């Protein structure tokens, strides 16, 4: 039985490399339609939890995993840290991180290392799909030479595609099944295999002419959002000077039934895509002697928002004749967006670093993130979420709302805190001169 037949009859073993916010939903969807899945991750603790049927992502219940890992013939999912098993699956889907270096250049070490591990186990008849967001040319220029060096001809002995992930953590309106999947292959045969695979788990597959086109489509999606968020962030700063409510302006503008899509300002960009992906393209564009000025300007505006927020906190404290140095600042919300447990690239982390650097005494509360380790970029941050109480809110000098979780009782917080700086318009409708917008 060849690979296409295995895929169409759901007899192909699917391997998913990277079992995080992208990989784990794919595990659930492939098993849901009848495939067996072997998951790979370098985090031993994560592997152990998954094999016990425990979820570590807020919106994925453990009950869904528990039924997949039961012993015997009914077992549909197994997690492993043994990369020597990469030759077992018929299909390998790569969902590893693609961060930036401190100089805002692409850091493809995880993709490259994964490709080398696959090459060491590559066997005829395997399909490899890269889902990690990256610059146009990565699949063809980085992945392909590594895999070809292991022997075999692409499109005949093995198949290579790029199909960008489109996960939106915490968004209950869309799931893997309902989000269209873009697929580009190195060869027509590669694309055919990729389309067949994803056609089993999503309602609509969008084939494109090449892996480069697929790679660039994902960047365009996120650059579109980054540029528009930068626009409203800049307008927010202008509106604060003019004494105009930017949120009122946006709500009025969105009543236009055509030609306008609402974007909202905030304390800066967060998450695994929008703060990072545009810089993948600006870096690649330099290879073609092309300056992406529009994208870079948007990045500059968004990157400066945490500095603007800290400035607003200092001004708000000054209005109460208190200096920022030694001030007790309580940050509400560490996650990069509301109602998720994901702190990756959250502007809250940069804001915490800046406030600490100014000598402020910083604490935070987030109902979804009990511990803050700072991650790759802020290893010096090590805090635990504090419990909100009347006493705590009264004792701090300023409450800084960064992430507008639905769990917060904004009226109660406003009734207890002496000063509030609101970056999300979360306290709309709550009256008080002590509420300052940022």
What would the pLDDT profile of 326-383 be if each residue is shown by its tens digit?
999 999 999 999 999 989 889 999 999 999 999 999 999 999 999 998 777 787 788 9
List pLDDT tens digits, range 273-326. 778 888 899 999 999 999 999 999 999 999 999 999 999 999 999 999 999 999
Answer yes or no: are the C-beta atoms of 157 and 144 closer than 8 Å: no
- pLDDT category, 71, cuts 50, 70, 90? low
Task: Provide the H-helix boundaries in 175-269.
Answer: 188-199, 211-242, 246-253
Tell me the pTM.
0.92
Answer yes or no: are the C-beta atoms of 117 and 88 closer than 8 Å: no
Q: What is the pLDDT of residue 172?
A: 79
Q: Which domains are delineated in the chain? A: 3-208 (3.40.50.720), 226-437 (3.40.50.720)
Instruction: Please name every residue paired with 435 in a beta bridge, in sequence order, or none if there are none.
Output: 420
CB contact set of 400 (below 8 Å; sequence gap of 6+): 309, 313, 329, 330, 331, 332, 351, 420, 421, 423
Q: Which residue has the tokens 């990157």?
A: 303
Residue 130 has pLDDT above 80, yes or no: yes
Cα dihedral across residues 170, 253, 224, 231: positive or negative:
negative
Identified catalytic residue from 95, 273, 372, 398: 273
Q: What is the pLDDT of residue 104?
A: 81
Say how many CA atoms lie within 13 Å of 108 toward its Cβ.
23
Answer yes or no: are the C-beta atoms of 111 and 130 closer than 8 Å: yes
Tell me the three state secondary structure of residue 401: strand
**Helices 347-357 and 293-319 sit at what angle, rounded to 10 degrees?**
50
Residue 193, both tokens: 């295999």
Answer yes or no: are the C-beta atoms of 208 and 184 closer than 8 Å: yes
Q: What is the pLDDT of residue 396?
A: 98
Which of 15, 13, 17 has the alpha carbon at shortest distance from 43? Answer: 17
Tell me the three state secondary structure of residue 307: helix
Give me Rg for the CA atoms of the chain: 24
List pLDDT tens digits, range 246-278. 999 999 999 999 999 999 999 998 877 778 888
* Backbone angles phi and psi of 116, in degrees to 5: -70, -35
Q: β-strand 383-384 against 328-332: which pairing, if any?
A: unpaired
Which of 79, 140, 78 has the alpha carbon at shortest distance from 115? Answer: 140
| Catalytic residue list contains 95 | no
């Amino acid at each position: 039985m060849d690979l296409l037949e295995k895929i169409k009859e759901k007899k192909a073993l699917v391997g998913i490399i990277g079992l995080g916010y992208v990989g784990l939903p794919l595990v659930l969807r492939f098993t849901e339609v009848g495939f067996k899945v072997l998951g790979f991750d370098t985090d031993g603790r994560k592997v152990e939890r998954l094999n016990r049927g425990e979820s570590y992502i807020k919106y994925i219940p453990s009950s869904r995993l528990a039924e997949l890992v039961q012993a015997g013939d009914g077992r549909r999912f197994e997690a492993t840290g043994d990369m020597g098993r990469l030759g077992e699956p018929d299909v390998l889907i790569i969902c590893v991180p693609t961060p930036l270096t401190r100089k805002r250049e692409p850091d493809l070490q995880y993709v490259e290392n994964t490709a080398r591990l696959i090459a060491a186990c590559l066997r005829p008849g395997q399909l490899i799909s890269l889902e990690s967001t990256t610059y146009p040319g990565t699949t063809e220029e980085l992945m392909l030479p590594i895999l070809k060096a292991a022997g075999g001809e692409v499109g005949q002995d093995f198949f290579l595609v790029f199909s960008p992930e489109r996960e939106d953590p915490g968004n209950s309106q869309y799931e893997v099944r309902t989000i269209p999947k873009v697929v580009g292959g190195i060869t027509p045969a590669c694309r055919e295999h990729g389309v067949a695979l994803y056609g089993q788990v999503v309602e609509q597959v969008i084939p494109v002419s090449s892996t480069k086109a697929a790679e660039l489509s994902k960047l365009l999606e996120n650059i579109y959002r980054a540029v528009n968020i930068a626009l409203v962030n800049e307008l927010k700063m202008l509106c604060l000077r003019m004494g105009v409510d930017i949120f009122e302006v946006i709500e009025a503008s969105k009543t236009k039934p055509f030609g306008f899509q609402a974007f909202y300002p905030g304390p800066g960009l967060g998450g695994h895509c929008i703060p990072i992906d545009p810089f993948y393209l600006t870096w690649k564009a330099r290879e073609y002697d092309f300056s992406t000025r529009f994208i870079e300007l948007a990045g500059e505006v968004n990157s400066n928002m945490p500095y603007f927020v800290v400035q607003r906190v200092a001004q708000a404290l000054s209005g109460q004749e208190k200096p920022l140095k030694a001030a007790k600042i309580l940050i509400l919300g560490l996650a990069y967006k509301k109602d998720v447990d994901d702190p990756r690239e959250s502007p809250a982390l940069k804001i915490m670093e800046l406030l600490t650097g100014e000598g402020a005494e910083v604490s935070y509360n987030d109902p979804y993130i009990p511990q803050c380790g700072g991650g790759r970029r802020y290893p010096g941050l090590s805090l635990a979420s504090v419990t909100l109480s009347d006493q705590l809110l009264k004792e701090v000098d300023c409450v800084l709302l960064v992430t507008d979780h639905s769990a917060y009782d904004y009226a109660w917080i406003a009734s207890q805190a002496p000063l509030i700086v609101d970056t999300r318009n979360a306290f709309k409708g709550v009256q008080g001169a002590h509420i300052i917008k940022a």
